[in-house]
Amino acid sequence: MANASGILTPTIKISSSIGINRSGFCSPKSVSVSERVCCSRTSQESRVPRLISKGCKLVGCGSAVPNNQFSNDDLAKIVDTSDEWISSRTGIRNRRIVTGKENLTGLAVEAAQKALEMAEVKADEVDLILFCSSTPDDLFGGAPEVQKILGCKRNPPAFDIRAACSGFLLGLVSASCHIRGGGFKNVLVIGADCVTRYVDWTDKKTCVLFGDAAGAILVQACDSEEDGLFGFDLHTDGSGSRYLNAGIKHSETSFALGSNGSDLGFSPSDTSISHIQMNGQEVFRFVVKAVPESITTSLTNAGLRLSDIDWLLLHQANQRIIDHVATKLEFPMDRVISNLANYGNTSAASIPLALDEAVRSGKVKEGQTIMTAGFGAGLTWGSAIVRWG
């Protein structure tokens, strides 16, 4: 069996099968020791436990936002819009934007450090870092730089997950899979995006929506009886990418030696990322249908009812979407978490950012159950039922 530090081939003794399907985990019922799948340790000790069917729980959270706040009134100075127009259509009043010497890596590190501090876990105890971002500071990803700055001296694997606004949810489920089947103990999941780098500031339909931020969760292995990820549901429909994308642009450039590529057989070109293109109406129609269906599936996979849920936490994209989904699910509005007004759509950061604020303010308490959902470019979408703490 593979683990975080290498390849092991332990003797495996199976007493009974444990069912985990493709779209979620089985009901969160207690599993006796005799029912677990146990792996005996080899003489070469692994740095992490090798117990398949371990549970996982959310034990620490943190977030970070840029210093610069940009209000709707500020936007009205550069584009034909107003506070009333923006807030009535989106629910957004302010957003934070990376400026000056700030960068996304710095925000991600700050959020991660806060999550580790809350969880009382040292950087050297982290076994895996999942950096969920579609806008890293480096073309090749931001996870290695985050790992370096955090000071993880054991060199745990660290890599990026690019799924835009669904990124954090995919990272959360991926963390659970590494823990349940891979023997990892502490997995740091970071959602961070600087989407404002790619908006067209002359397009009032898109530039008003986005902000920059980072959020992090420490997911930790636990006994199956304490498992805190009850069920999930994930999907992708690539045909929907035409409604939300930011493609690569090519422009011809003069070849350094003046040959214009004639000696190469092709014309060299400069490449860049285009501004975000979005058909808001189509995305809205898609989300309000797909997300309630996904949440219902996750509840079924978890063996839970809506009445078992304490909080609804959706990706913070648009207040109309949040309200519409809650209404369709017949979920009480006073138990819907939303901080969209203060930050706008922060893409992969939105769920951990909102959760961190809710936890630190005392709104979300240890042991409470949250149903969460992400949706965005790809098109990707999904949901998960989790317990905090």
- Could you please report the per-residue DSSP string of 199-254? --TT-TTTTTTB-EEEEEEEEEEE-GGG--EEEEEEEE-GGGGGGEE--EEEEE--
What distance in Å separates the CA atoms of residue 33 and residue 36, rounded to the nearest whole number?
A: 5
Q: Say if CB 17 and CB 223 are below 8 A apart.
A: no
Helix axes 104-119, 350-360, angle to 10 degrees: 40
- 194 a catalytic residue: no
The residue from 3, 186, 339, 345 that is catalytic is: 345
CA angle 363, 70, 64 (to 5 degrees): 45
DSSP 377: T
What distance in Å separates the CA atoms of residue 345 and residue 357, rounded to the nearest whole number?
A: 15
Q: Identity (one letter) of the amino acid at 26? A: C
Q: Could you give the C-alpha distances from 100 to 103, 193, 254, 292, 344, in angstroms and in order?
A: 8, 16, 31, 40, 20
The H-assigned helical ranges of the chain are 72-75, 83-90, 104-119, 143-150, 167-182, 280-302, 319-329, 340-343, 350-360
Please, is 191 exposed, middle or buried when counting C-beta atoms within 10 Å of its C-beta (0-12, 13-18, 19+)?
Answer: buried
What distance in Å separates the CA atoms of residue 242 and residue 230, rounded to the nearest whole number?
A: 33
Q: Could you give the C-alpha distances from 281 to 205, 285, 296, in angstroms and in order?
A: 11, 6, 23
Please, is 20 exposed, middle or buried when counting C-beta atoms within 10 Å of its C-beta (0-12, 13-18, 19+)?
Answer: middle
CA angle 153, 158, 163 (to 5 degrees): 160
- 345 a catalytic residue: yes
The residue from 39, 152, 165, 207 that is catalytic is: 165
- List CB contacts of 29: < 8 A, sequence separation 6 or more: 303
Straight-line distance from the first to the last Cα atom of the chain, in angstroms, rounded to the nearest whole number: 29
Chain center to CA of 183:
22
- 250 a catalytic residue: no
Q: Which residues are catalytic?
A: 165, 315, 345
